[in-house]
């Protein structure tokens, strides 16, 4: 009996998922656990694995189409097996094998011409070959069932293209051309692109920079590492201390913990802190809700748990919404100063750079000091440069006198 493959539920609030890519086509054999498709919701994208060994009998949801979770997106079974798609059983046509001799193909004259605006039908391997060769699939005539473009059709198009290029090269001087790979913007990358573009278009963003002397903070971190490990089985990072300093500073500068919505500035009392996490597929921002009620150890533990869930693709939509301020750290990449982009409708985002050592005057003596660069981007519609600088100055005071964060 054919096995149903359904659209997974990617978060409690998910109402619709989209098939971003089919790795297998009808007639392709699959192993149990082999990725057969990529699906995404608004912020999460995962691979759907085959629940059984067999053949892809029918694909019911094409690429780019959104359906509710639990919807059957394809069937896996034995070749020629019948499947049910919300109606009586219908026989499954065995697709034409793409590597058969070209003599078995229908004659070109019998292939129906594609109508204007008609969706191009193409096998996954043929699609990949066409994209790699930068061929326009709209210009390729398919010889498979229903006009489907097969691997042999793409190979034939490549031959014709090669002949045409050779003829042109004999007429014109050879011109250097760069090979390009085209990647469709979809899933998390598409959401990020839309949000960042919208952020820059609809806000008045300004970035100010400040250098923080964290020599004493690093010394405190080293002095307490064994005690914290033995007592809490945990490690406090520089990012943890920065997060604590930001939370304490936001409580003193409420204008930075705000949002401009419908021409009204909303000042928030609780601090819902967003902490950006970089993934292979894009950036996600898990949110520590009511961070102002957390102690330093709890703040550190919660962030690490959320970051782990983010890397495993297990964050719910609720855990990525409602932030009132965001921290983005590129220090591990060696970046010092950068310009972070606001996460609307927030008023501020703090960019954290890499710590570096430099000689500095301490009184009349020159000492080796550790410097942390910070970059604060804020919405100039909500507040001016002076109050934004005052907030950053408060963050500086906490980090340069770290004992005050523990009192």
Q: What is the pLDDT of residues 350-400, one digit of tens each?
A: 999 999 999 999 888 999 999 999 999 999 999 999 999 999 999 999 999
Q: Does CATH number 2.40.50.100 belong to domain 1-95?
A: yes
384 carries an active-site annotation? yes
Q: How far apart are CA 405 and CA 401, in angstroms?
A: 8
Q: Across the strands, what pairs with 55?
A: 29, 77
Place of tokens 């002949």: 163
380 carries an active-site annotation? yes
DSSP letters, 56-79, are EEEE-S-TT-EE-TT-EEEEEEST
| Set 47, 198, 357, 380: catalytic member | 380
**Cβ neighbours of residue 266 closer than 8 Å, sequence gap 6 or more:** 258, 259, 260
| Set 198, 298, 357, 384: catalytic member | 384
Place of tokens 């907030």: 391
SS3 label, residue 329: strand
Measure CA 233 to chain center: 31
User: Which pLDDT value is given to residue 150?
Assistant: 81
Question: By the 8 A CB rule, do 245 and 298 touch?
Answer: no
**Cβ neighbours of residue 355 closer than 8 Å, sequence gap 6 or more:** 214, 218, 238, 331, 370, 371, 372
Residues in the chain: 407
Q: pTM surpassing 0.95?
A: no
CB atoms within 10 A of CB 212: 23
Q: How far apart are CA 221 and CA 288, in angstroms?
A: 23
Element housing 209 (H / E) = strand 205-213
Would you give per-residue pLDDT tens digits along the chain (407 residues)? 788 999 888 766 677 888 878 888 888 999 988 888 888 776 677 888 899 999 999 899 998 788 888 899 999 998 888 776 653 333 334 444 444 444 444 444 455 566 665 677 787 677 777 887 788 888 888 887 667 788 788 888 888 877 666 666 566 555 556 677 777 776 677 778 888 888 999 999 999 999 999 999 999 999 999 999 999 999 999 999 999 999 999 999 999 999 999 999 999 999 999 999 998 877 899 999 999 999 999 999 999 999 999 988 888 888 999 999 999 999 999 999 999 999 999 999 999 999 999 999 988 899 999 999 999 999 999 999 999 999 999 999 999 999 999 87
Of 47, 14, 15, 20, whose CA–CA distance to 186 is shortest?
20
User: Which pLDDT value is given to residue 2?
Assistant: 85
Q: How far apart are CA 18 and CA 128, in angstroms?
A: 20
Neighbour-count burial of 359, counting CB atoms closer than 10 A to its CB (0-12 exposed, 13-18 middle, 19+ buried): exposed
Of 158, 164, 114, whose CA–CA distance to 136 is shortest?
158
Show the tokens assigned to 331. Answer: 């220090």
Question: By the 8 A CB rule, do 391 and 376 touch?
Answer: yes
Q: Does CATH number 3.30.559.10 belong to domain 188-405?
A: yes
Element housing 38 (H / E) = strand 35-40
Question: By the 8 A CB rule, do 205 and 378 touch?
Answer: yes
Q: Across the strands, what pairs with 83?
A: 90
User: Which pLDDT value is given to residue 145?
Assistant: 67
Show the tokens assigned to 380. Answer: 């100039």
DSSP, res 106:
P
User: Which pLDDT value is given to residue 253?
Assistant: 97
Of 144, 141, 191, 183, whose CA–CA distance to 21 is shortest?
183
Measured between alpha carbons, how far apart are the two ends of the chain, in Å?
66
DSSP, res 228:
H
Where are the domains positioned within the chain? 1-95, 111-172, 188-405
Class (C level, CATH) for 111-172: few secondary structures
Q: How far apart are CA 197 and CA 120, in angstroms?
A: 30
User: Which pLDDT value is given to residue 114?
Assistant: 61
Q: Across the strands, what pairs with 207?
A: 377
* Cα 29–Cα 30–Cα 32 angle in degrees, nearest 5: 150
Q: How far apart are CA 403 and CA 306, in angstroms?
A: 27
């Amino acid at each position: 009996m054919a096995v149903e493959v359904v659209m997974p539920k990617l978060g409690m609030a998910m109402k619709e998922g989209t098939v971003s890519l089919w790795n297998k086509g009808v007639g392709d054999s699959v192993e149990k656990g082999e990725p057969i498709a990529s699906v995404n919701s608004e912020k999460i994208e995962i691979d759907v694995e085959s629940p059984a060994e067999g053949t892809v009998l029918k694909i019911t949801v094409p690429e780019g189409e959104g359906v509710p979770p639990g919807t059957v997106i394809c069937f896996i079974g034995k070749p020629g097996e019948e499947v049910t798609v919300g109606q009586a059983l219908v026989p499954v046509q065995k697709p034409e094998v793409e590597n058969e001799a070209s003599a078995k193909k229908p004659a070109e004259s019998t292939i129906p011409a594609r109508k204007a605006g008609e969706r191009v039908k193409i096998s996954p391997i043929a699609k990949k070959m066409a994209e790699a060769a930068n061929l326009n699939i709209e210009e390729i005539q398919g010889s498979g069932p229903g006009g489907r473009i097969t691997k042999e059709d793409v190979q034939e198009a490549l031959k014709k293209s090669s002949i045409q290029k050779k003829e042109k090269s004999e007429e014109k001087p050879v011109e250097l051309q760069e090979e390009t790979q085209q990647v469709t913007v979809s899933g998390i990358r598409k959401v990020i692109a839309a949000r960042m573009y919208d952020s820059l278009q609809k806000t008045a963003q300004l970035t100010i920079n400040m250098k923080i002397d964290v020599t004493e903070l690093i010394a405190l971190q080293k002095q307490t590492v064994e005690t914290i490990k033995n007592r809490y089985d945990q490690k406090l990072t520089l990012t943890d201390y920065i997060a604590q300093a930001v939370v304490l500073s936001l409580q003193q500068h409420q204008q930075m913990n705000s949002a401009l919505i419908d021409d009204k500035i909303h000042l928030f009392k609780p601090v819902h802190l967003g902490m950006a996490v970089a993934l292979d597929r894009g950036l996600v921002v898990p949110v520590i809700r009511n961070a102002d009620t957390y102690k330093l150890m709890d703040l550190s533990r919660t962030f690490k748990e959320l970051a782990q869930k983010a890397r495993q693709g297990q964050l719910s939509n609720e855990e990525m919404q409602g932030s009132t301020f965001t921290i983005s750290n590129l220090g591990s990449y060696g970046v010092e100063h950068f310009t972070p982009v606001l996460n609307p409708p927030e008023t501020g985002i703090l960019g954290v750079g890499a710590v570096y050592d430099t000689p500095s005057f301490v009184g009349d003596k020159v000492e080796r000091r550790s410097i942390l660069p910070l970059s604060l981007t804020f919405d100039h519609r909500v507040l001016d440069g002076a109050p934004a600088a005052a907030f950053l100055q408060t963050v500086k005071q906490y980090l340069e006198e770290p004992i005050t964060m523990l009192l």
